[in-house]
Structure 1
Amino acid sequence: MVHNNGTGAARPLSRRFFLTATGIGALTAGLAACGGTSTSGSSPSSPAPTSGGGGGFPLTMEGAEGKTVLTARPQRVVTVGFMRDLDEAVSLGVNPVATTPASNFDSGIPPWVEAKLGGAKIEQLEFEDKLPFEKIVALTPDLILATDSYTLADDFANLTALAPTLSYEKDVAEDTWQTRATRVGKALGKSDEAEKAVKAVTAKIEEAKTKNQAALAGKTFTFSLLNGEGAIATVILPTDASAQLLAHLGLKLSDKVTKLPQAGPAGRAVVATENTDLLDADIVMFSFRNAEERAKVEGDRLFQNLPAVKRGAYVALEVETALSMAFPSTLSIPYALDKIVPLLVQAAGKA
């Protein structure tokens, strides 16, 4: 099964740094600690059905930041996590009354969530430095989902004073996507549906692996990006969420990078330009936030001379596709598989 990054790095920044080595930076600006996007029209939560789903209310759930006590099935849900609280609620058919915006996306909503919403709108809570507690209380929520919040250690007391708040189980950087889906499902009274969603996504991963085993099995890869200073930062830990998804498809993180010393955020190493050759593998992957970054990397002579790049075994990913791997959920993983697997198979054919 695919797991989140289990690096055990100091909380709360380890996972938020997937696509930037110096903090929130250009990619994740507007998320947990800084500004939001435009507000969409609001709509009430779609409540969980009263039959099936393993209700079990009243309910008390333990979490790393504190308990969540629910006297009845939630009807008005607000999500304040990075992306995955919203993912899992919508996956289970519960549209929150409001959510903090995902500013990596123009609409404020990840495309895999938009597809599931089918045109329905969710109010987005604009904020700059701190969560908009006044706006949240005005919505009268009966559950706040915060399993994907990187500032929950600071915010839990304030949030739980407004409404029961669901924390991550162990750590935002350690809980697996299966754990998050299961916790959210239980809090919403939809445990059965959550279990089915986890099984369905696991089956989809296994199906993709089996179908493409001949092309992908045993192929090595590297996966890199440019950090906030414009330097190359590459994944070095097999426990990274993206690396785990790729491993479950049969790929293997290159030994050239797993031996590098960690620098900057957990699970990454900064590679000096003169050492670009360390990125070479059967398949070279690179994620870009914009066209300027891509032009910079692809225009570099040392990058152009990588054997994998020369033979066409190079996969360039847009940021939304990279995020669907980096922050896995029952909605984002199928999106990632649909977008990435064909590119990997094509590149593997030139390995």
Structure 2
Amino acid sequence: MSHTRPRRLSTVLTAATLVLALLVAGGCATGEASPAAPASGSSDAAFPTTITHAFGATTLTAKPRRIVVVGLKEQDYFLALGEVPVAIRDWYGNQPNATWPWARERLGTAKPEVLARAELDYEQIAALRPDVIVGLSSGMSRQEYDLLTKIAPTVAQPAGDGSWAVTWQQMSRAAGQITGRSAEAEKLVTDLEQRIAAVAAAHPRLKGAHTVFASTYEGQYYLFSPETTASKVLLDLGLTMTPEVTTLTANANQSATISRERFDLVDVDVAVWSEAATDPGVTTLLGDPLYTRLDVRTQRRDVFLGTEANGALAFASVLSLPYVLDKIVPALAVAVDGDPATSSEYSAR
């Protein structure tokens, strides 16, 4: 499933506070990861700097050398700026060093410590002796933020419409400010926005076409809101979602389960499924006459992503979006033409 949110990080506040006090007082003397080497182009003159977020503002008095990521996808932004975090939070996909293929070469020989997705281990984080803790895509609570600030200055998600409402542009600029590389971050944003616009213009059939982002996770059929990260990428390409899907998914989970009898909701100009065509759930879907009789199937207007392509869409970062533009957009263009004779690597025959 493409947009499973992490479970709320459990905390036992009193015990955690005591552990942190002991670790901080004792200097966190444990085995440690090596700090990132200063990246060329970063500027110590950019400090002090203050980053605003959902819980106020955090001031960094000097360039941080030891960056610990507790969000789910910040590593892409720091790596894009030439900064290797000493620790990366795992999300999903079982990737080496919690780093996906589009970002992996930027690690070089570094092996950041991997933090578990389900719970934050405050003792583990304190032992890393971070200069800054970054949770732009963590959805952290106020209690979690307060605990993390006992270890090091902490940057939480931006203030806004919700704990998860953070865009790739916001993440890029925040990473730039944290590392003293704001000008480079702004160039990344500008260049990528221009490339997205150019790719959209090169595929005019996508403009105004109806799409849906769906999943067959664990035998259930899910539709995702236009407000989810992956859906926003599709909309930025000119695609739209129907009012019915928009209304149905307008809830805290930004998704809805549908029955087989409501497959009409995915009978759109191009349906994007998060799983590969070989996934067991998709195999069941493609054998279901309630689905196979639809125009979206008979005209091969459905796209089946698989782990890596779905990850690129779900991350929607400055490093993964070029993957989306190079590989997924051509598949969308093939699907939206409605010609069953055309196909892509993400088609199901």
TM-score in terms of structure 1 length: 0.80
1:197-216 CA-partner distances (Å, limit 9, x unpaired): 11111011011111112x32
Distance verdict in 2 for CA 1:183–1:55, change over 3 Å: farther
Distance verdict in 2 for CA 1:211–1:320, change over 3 Å: same
Letter in 1 for 2:173: T
- Alignment-derived partner of residue 3 in structure 2: 19
Q: Does 1:57 align with 2:63?
A: no
Distance verdict in 2 for CA 1:136–1:260, change over 3 Å: closer
Structure 1 counterpart of 2:209, from 176, 201, 219 = 219
CA distance in 1 between counterparts of 2:132 and 2:115 reads 19
CA contact (8 A) 1:125 1:132 kept: no
Task: Report the alpha carbon displacement of residue 181 of structure 1 after superposing the two structures with TM.
Answer: 1.2
1:160-213 CA-partner distances (Å, limit 9, x unpaired): 111111112214322222112111210111111110111111011011111112
Letter in 2 for 1:154: Q
Task: Report the alpha carbon displacement of residue 112 of structure 1 after superposing the two structures with TM.
Answer: 1.9
- Alignment-derived partner of residue 347 in structure 2: none
3-state SS of paired residue (2:147): helix
Distance verdict in 2 for CA 1:222–1:61, change over 3 Å: closer
Q: Does 1:70 align with 2:60?
A: yes
- Alignment-derived partner of residue 350 in structure 1: 338
Q: How many residues align?
A: 315
Letter in 1 for 2:335: A
1:243-301 CA-partner distances (Å, limit 9, x unpaired): 322222222213452343656x5332221111112210111211127722222222222
CA distance in 2 between counterparts of 1:195 and 1:342 reads 27
- Alignment-derived partner of residue 127 in structure 2: 138
CA distance in 2 between counterparts of 1:341 and 1:223 reads 14
CA distance in 2 between counterparts of 1:141 and 1:60 reads 17
CA distance in 2 between counterparts of 1:175 and 1:106 reads 23
Compare 284-293 and 153-162 and name the one that shifted more.
284-293
CA distance in 2 between counterparts of 1:53 and 1:348 reads 46
Distance verdict in 2 for CA 1:297–1:53, change over 3 Å: farther
Letter in 1 for 2:3: L
Task: Report the alpha carbon displacement of residue 60 of structure 1 after superposing the two structures with TM.
Answer: 2.5
Structure 2 counterpart of 1:194, from 185, 192, 208 = 185
Distance verdict in 2 for CA 1:54–1:338, change over 3 Å: farther
Structure 2 counterpart of 1:318, from 306, 311, 331 = 306
Compare 71-80 and 148-157 and name the one that shifted more.
148-157
CA contact (8 A) 2:77 2:172 kept: yes
Compare 341-350 and 326-335 and name the one that shifted more.
326-335
CA distance in 1 between counterparts of 2:270 and 2:223 reads 14
Letter in 1 for 2:263: T
CA contact (8 A) 2:87 2:115 kept: no
Q: Does 1:109 align with 2:96?
A: no
Task: Report the alpha carbon displacement of residue 52 of structure 1 after superposing the two structures with TM.
Answer: 5.7
3-state SS of paired residue (2:165): coil
CA contact (8 A) 1:182 1:194 kept: yes
- Root-mean-square deviation over aligned CA pairs: 2.7
1:122-177 CA-partner distances (Å, limit 9, x unpaired): 32334475312222222221111111112343321221111111112214322222
Compare 192-201 and 67-76 and name the one that shifted more.
67-76
Query: Identity of aligned pairs, percent?
Result: 30
Whichever structure has more helix as a proportion of its residues is: 2
Unaligned runs of 5+ in 2: 12-31, 340-349
Task: Report the alpha carbon displacement of residue 227 of structure 1 after superposing the two structures with TM.
Answer: 4.4
Equivalent residues in 2 for 1:1-351 (5 A)? 19-20=3-4, 24=6, 42-49=33-40, 55-83=45-73, 85-107=74-96, 108-117=98-107, 119-127=108-116, 130-170=119-159, 171-213=162-204, 215-227=205-217, 230-235=219-224, 237-260=225-248, 262=250, 265-288=252-275, 291-350=279-338
Compare relative contact order (CA 8 Å, sep 6+) and give the higher one, 1 or 2: 1
- Alignment-derived partner of residue 24 in structure 2: none
Unaligned runs of 5+ in 1: 1-16, 35-40
